Amino acid sequence: MKKICLIASLLMTMTLGSTQVFASVPSLNVNAKAALLMEPTTGKILFDQNSHDKLPPASVTKVMTMLLIYEAVADGKIKWDDVVTVSDHAAGMGGSQIFLEPMEQQTVRDLTKCVVVASANDAAVAMGEFIAGSEESFVAMMNEKAKSLGMNDTTFKNACGLDTEGHITSAYDIAVMTRELVTKHPEVHEFSTIWMDTIVHKTAKGNQEFGISNTNRLLKNYSGATGLKTGSTADALYCISATAKRDSLNLISVILGAPNPTTRFQEAMKLLDYGFANYSITLGEPVGTEKGVIKIYKGEKEEVTVAVKNQVNCLVSKGNKSELESKVEMLEALKAPVAQGAKAGEIIYTFEGKEVGRSDLVTTEGTVKADLKDFISRLAKKWLAN
């Protein structure tokens, strides 16, 4: 049985197939209007400061833009090598930009890279228009997705985060959409860990190389930094949704309304330091671990092996040597035909009698219904055995 540390102190709950635990707020003083520290695989919140205050997020807005881009690719709606023609509207975005020109053509991959790395407003709006037909339609998609994720503090008014009346979110909601992006589409870190790169402007005037650099200084100054998005405007001040990983522990640190860029990064690092110093992840059994067999009623195969579908992550605090326990609950049988990956039971993890995570147990192979020949063969084997 694996040795683990005491279950982490938490102050809020987000469900991901596990029971959460509540505890007091750590004594941290964060110099920002709002802040939050989350472990994304479990959704557990380790620090909260005004996390539901509704505030302008500046370019941290683009976490949602990025999420919808990656979802569109995953769903087959768009492809990375699709060519996007830049509109007058997209090219006219102010603020951080890569200076796209009207009618310029860029691939989805390069525009997305510019959104993630360079926080390019023009690239973000161009991608929104490409996915939804117009920025307005894309913003409607953003708000619909926010609602589906339970982001009740959020109203988006644009795709890039420029100051607009009523364009608001919260540290909590930013953590929610960041979690959705990095857990469902971890490939985003391919771009979010780039420090400097180039694209080629392709216009009627010819091709010209253009350098882009990351706005996230943590990539150079913080061990384990993996992203994700900075933002600053006159109304929002200085903001960040920072992601980092050490060993098996991932963290999301959200800062909203810091007074200057240096403080923004310092306070994000303070939360990350607290998380890495006090918590770790204990892993349940790996995906594919076999946990026995299940009988198949009227199947060509009389039984099939079952295995763990998802690896459970258990967030624990450092210092205690208690044990993570597990038990298997299996159905009595499945009726043929049975598909590969059919649910046959669950493995449930507990700590000190409290459930901390569970995973389905699924069949490792399928089987069709038995025919007359199969039944005769089985009867013959039983007769010979006697």
Active-site residue list: 59, 62, 119
Kindly give the residue spans of alpha helices, DSSP state H, lying in the chain. 62-74, 88-91, 108-118, 121-132, 135-148, 171-184, 189-192, 218-221, 261-278, 372-385
- Using DSSP's 3-state secondary structure scheme, residue 345 falls into strand
- Cis status of the peptide bond prior to 228, with omega within 30 of 0: yes
Structure tokens at 64: 């949602």
DSSP string, 138-170: HHHHHHHHHHHTT-TT-B--SSS----TT-BB-
- Cα dihedral 381/383/384/385 (nearest 10): 80
Peptide bond into 337 cis (omega under 30): yes
Cβ neighbours around 354 below 10 Å, total? 12
Crossing angle of helices 62-74 and 108-118, rounded to 10° = 150
Tokens of 21: 């635990």
- Element of type H or E holding 254: strand 249-258
CA 324 to chain centre: 25
> What is the rounded distance in angstroms from the CA atom of residue 370 to the CA atom of residue 298?
6
For residues 234 and 259, the answer to whether their CB atoms sit within 8 Å is no
What is the Cα–Cα distance from 6 to 8, expressed in whole angstroms?
A: 6
Residue 73 contacts residue 47 (beta carbons within 8 Å)? no
